[in-house]
Amino acid sequence: MYRTHTCGELRLSDAGKTVTLSGWVQRVRKMGGMTFIDLRDRYGITQLVFNQETDANLCEQANKIGREYVLQVKGTVGERFSKNDKMPTGDIEITVSELRVLNEALTPPFTIEENTDGGDELRMKFRYLDLRRETVRRNLELRHKFCLEVRHFLDSKGFLEIETPVLVGSTPEGARDFIVPSRMNPGSFYALPQSPQTLKQLLMVAGMDRYFQIVKCFRDEDLRADRQPEFTQIDCEMSFVEQDDIIRVFEALTKHLFKTVRGVDLGEEPFLRLSWEECMRRFGSDKPDMRFGMEFVELMDTLKGTGEFGVFNDAAYIGGICAPNCAVYTRKQLDELTNFVRSPQIGAKGLVYARVQEDGTVKSSVDKFYSPEVLNTLKDKMQAAPGDLILILSGDDANRTRKQLCELRLLMGSRLGLRDKNKFSLLWVVDFPMFEWSDEQQRLMAMHHPFTAPKPEDIPLLDTDPASVKANAYDMVCNGVEVGGGSIRIHDAVLQAKIFDILGFTPEQAQAQFGFLMNAFKYGAPPHGGLAYGLDRFVSLFAGLDSIRDVIAFPKNNAGRDVMLDAPAPVAQAQLDELQIALAKKD
């Protein structure tokens, strides 16, 4: 037997017992004639003690042991002289009588402590060592608990977990596909699923009624902190449902997860629902962070044409936010904000500000262009109080300017400490536009995906004004993060063909790529709809982390590389030949 107990479970009530423990050496300390070793496993840390006086030989052996050695020890549980109330096992120690080194270890390249000295790249290269750290391990435990509760809940509601294949054809979700060459079909390629979208719809045609799957999805797109080339979805689909039915079930799932996994009671009230248009108008984002206010106020009437300021007089949109208690900002702080909005990622031309002074008068960076009356109207319109700082952006494209103002709002929210990671604010964003125009492709693109149903009342507009059609699509947003999204689907082959046509597919292209789905719809497709949660994002929100990498056991870096496995990597010429693939010559 390698062990009788784990390193996390012995207490004072076990004093006197003879036990065997196995684990890794966290730390070795020599004090006078005593040697102390902290032994660690997944469950905790237990202090081992070796005494020079009572067993010089054993103590000698212990003194040769280094960090991360794997040990097995036998000994007696005793009360500790100086107790450590920060450790659950802090009242006891093991007086060791037998010591066996199960494996030696090289000195790890970084310290395996809460505050490690290892940089990101190094920790990724030695991820198996990073995973020994308690903080990282905790995230995986949280993820496990989360998945378990998802399964419990959905099972209790009659959902079946069904696996779908990984080697498939293209499943468009708006990203680039990862493709896999087929040796048995030279010149042909599989695509890895961007999501199981079409397959889960086929499962509905097959009568499965309620499906879910915790599933890997693959999208070849540029990476950010909350994106990985492979990520996990909780993918769900239901038959004979309308939008409200889906919202009801998944709101209940979300509340269940918050309660059982995060210990947060979100109450009985349904989540707020806002239309996409309202979100854009009030927050400049389709995933507004509702933990704080600072809503946009449109200022076109107040500032356009009411003074000599040319920038505002030419603007298509002027909007402001009001930051409480920020009128005290120094010139330098205001310059920082200006530099922020002017940075290439944000791209605004400049920032106008107005301070509401203690006496209620307004002092702004555009004073010379406006009368005190106009500035007073500005103050009223913004409902600003003495001490407030009004920040204003303008531009010739309303949507772009709103997005810039959204970034400024989020920055001010963070600065004012209004984005508390232990506070959760959830909402549904509904009534998304069906399409968005792509300048790059010079065509309408599906805003969600091509299988999303238009609002029934908007169907006639598909012929006359498709850009104005709204979709039966919804996103769940938590703290400014889109945690899930879905839609009611088209279940009619004719309507689906029409949407492909609007999206620029010829009937032949649509048939070649999606014939299987449109044909299936001809064999009795039930009305259906669903959604998918981004599991990594959701768990990282629960863990209070900004990056999803920390909740993934073996993540990729920003360049999509696995630095531990050194992938992707070139393959042998013989493999390429077998696949009949020739690489283009580099100049």
Query: Which residues in this chain contact ligand ASP in the complex, by CB under 6 A?
Result: 173, 195, 197, 485-487, 530-532
Q: How far is the CB of 194 from ligand ASP (least distance, A)?
A: 7
Q: For residue 283, what are the contacts with CB-CB under 8 A and spacing of at least 6?
A: 289, 295, 296, 406, 409
Nearer to ligand ASP by Cβ, of 173 and 177: the residue is 173
CA distances from 139 to 136, 151, 338, 545 (A): 5, 19, 37, 10
Q: How far is the CB of 115 from ligand ASP (least distance, A)?
A: 37
Nearer to ligand ASP by Cβ, of 413 and 530: the residue is 530
Nearer to ligand ASP by Cβ, of 201 and 394: the residue is 201
Q: How far is the CB of 171 from ligand ASP (least distance, A)?
A: 8
Q: How far apart are CA 274 and CA 397, in angstroms?
A: 23
User: For the purposes of burial, counting CB atoms within 10 Å of the CB of 40, is it exposed (0-12), middle (13-18) or buried (19 or more)?
Assistant: buried
Nearer to ligand ASP by Cβ, of 92 and 236: the residue is 236
Nearer to ligand ASP by Cβ, of 92 and 203: the residue is 203
Longest dimension (CA), the chain: 94
Q: How far is the CB of 515 from ligand ASP (least distance, A)?
A: 20
What angle, 0 to 180 degrees and rounded to 10, lies between the N-to-C axes of helices 398-415 and 276-283? 60
Other CB atoms closer than 10 Å to residue 555's CB: what's the count? 20
Nearer to ligand ASP by Cβ, of 35 and 197: the residue is 197
Nearer to ligand ASP by Cβ, of 164 and 401: the residue is 164
Q: How far is the CB of 241 from ligand ASP (least distance, A)?
A: 12
Q: How far is the CB of 406 from ligand ASP (least distance, A)?
A: 22
Q: How far apart are CA 439 and CA 437, in angstroms?
A: 6
DSSP conformation class of 178: P
Q: How far is the CB of 173 from ligand ASP (least distance, A)?
A: 5
Q: How far apart are CA 554 and CA 136, in angstroms?
A: 11
Q: What are phi and psi of 579, to 5 degrees?
A: -90, 0
Q: How far apart are CA 483 and CA 487, in angstroms?
A: 14
Specify the pairing of strand 44-51 against strand 34-41: antiparallel
Q: How far apart are CA 30 and CA 37, in angstroms?
A: 9
Q: How far is the CB of 522 from ligand ASP (least distance, A)?
A: 22
Nearer to ligand ASP by Cβ, of 59 and 215: the residue is 215
Tokens for 14, please give them: 């076990």
Instruction: Indicate the Cα dihedral angle 393, 396, 398, 399, nearest 10°.
Output: -100
